[in-house]
Amino acid sequence: AQSVTQPDIHITVSEGASLELRCNYSYGATPYLFWYVQSPGQGLQLLLKYFSGDTLVQGIKGFEAEFKRSQSSFNLRKPSVHWSDAAEYFCAVGARGNKLVFGAGTILRVKS
């Protein structure tokens, strides 16, 4: 069965510092991978997605993620974090029946 692990429950970075959020997945075939962001009390917004092709994908708000098949990872990165990036981030993998399996989420705090 598909599963997603986000090993970091909380991460705190200083404004302007770089960011990397980790995501590991378990899936038997070529995965469809996603990162979503959720601000407090809001719905989830799609940041980026990987289906095939170039393993480095660009998303909205300056985020990017790299698919590494050998490590079963899809880590999210941003070179310079802004205070407005503080939110919860979810990694997800596509499953049968057009369903998604989500990780438990990582809460990002940004220090000024």
In angstroms, give the least distance from the CB of 6 to other proteins.
9
Q: Is 32 in the site for other proteins (CB under 8 A)?
A: yes
Residues 2 and 77: their CA atoms lie apart, in Å, by: 23
**Near other proteins by CB under 8 A: residue from 44, 57, 65, 108:** 44
Q: Residue 73 or 102: which CB sits closer to other proteins?
A: 102
User: Count of residues binding other proteins (CB under 8 A)?
Assistant: 21
Among 13, 63, 90, 110, binds other proteins (CB under 8 A): 90
97 sits near other proteins (criterion: CB under 8 A): yes
Residues whose CB falls within 8 Å of the CB of residue 104, separated by 6 or more in sequence, listed in order: 6, 9
